[in-house]
Structure 1
Amino acid sequence: MLFRLLIATLFVALAFFLIRRLRRGKRTKDQLPNAYAETVACHKCGILVPKDEAVEKDGRLYCSEEHSQE
């Protein structure tokens, strides 16, 4: 009886992971999380931010509009 319960639990877990993976689908390069994006350091505080989210002013990159104003 315990063996059947173990097999059933494994089957349900496998089905769960397969369905979850199928629903997620394949990601294109544009859909990758920001962890894979190129990062740049803020000129004022040095924090790393994704390059596409950085604020540029006078040829320098900043993490926020606030830091670009100071």
Structure 2
Amino acid sequence: MSKLLVFLLVLFAIYWVRRLLTKPKTPPPAGPAPREPQASMRMLSCQRCGVHVPENEGVRRGGDFYCCEEHARGGH
């Protein structure tokens, strides 16, 4: 019985060493693609309340810049 256990241990050791030596060289898993740097957005001040808002989120009226449609209309 002990010879069978030794034989199985030797087979397992050979299998394990062979597996380590023939391990495929795979590249590391690709993570998310690097993001493109975003263009910086100009921050403009509202003519009414003075809050700074990105230019693409505000409203332009008559050459002036406002943070929202309500301030552009002149409402409260």
TM range (shorter): 0.5 to 0.7
Which one of 40, 49, 53 corresponds to residue 57 of structure 2? 53
Aligned-pair Cα RMSD in Å: 2.3
Cα distance in structure 1, aligned partners of 2:43 and 2:51: 10
Alpha-carbon separation, structure 2, partners of 1:38 and 1:28: 18
Larger radius of gyration: 2
Paired residue for 2:46? 42
Shift of the alpha carbon at 1:37? 1.8
Q: Look up the SS of the partner of 2:71 in the other structure.
A: helix
Identity of aligned residues (%): 30
Matched AA of 1:22:
G
Of Structure 1 and Structure 2, the greater helix share is in 1
Normalised to the residue count of structure 1, the TM-score between the two structures is 0.55
Question: How many residues align structurally?
Answer: 46
- Secondary structure at 1:56's aligned position in 2? strand
SS at structure 1 position matched to 2:44 = strand
Q: How far, CA to CA, are the matches of 2:46 and 2:60 in structure 1?
A: 10
Gap runs ≥5 in structure 1: 1-18
- Which stretches of structure 1, 4 residues or longer, exceed 2 Å deviation after superposition? none
Separation of aligned partners in 2, 1:27 and 1:39: 22
Note the C-alpha offset of 1:61.
0.3
Structure 1 position 62, deviation (Å) = 0.3
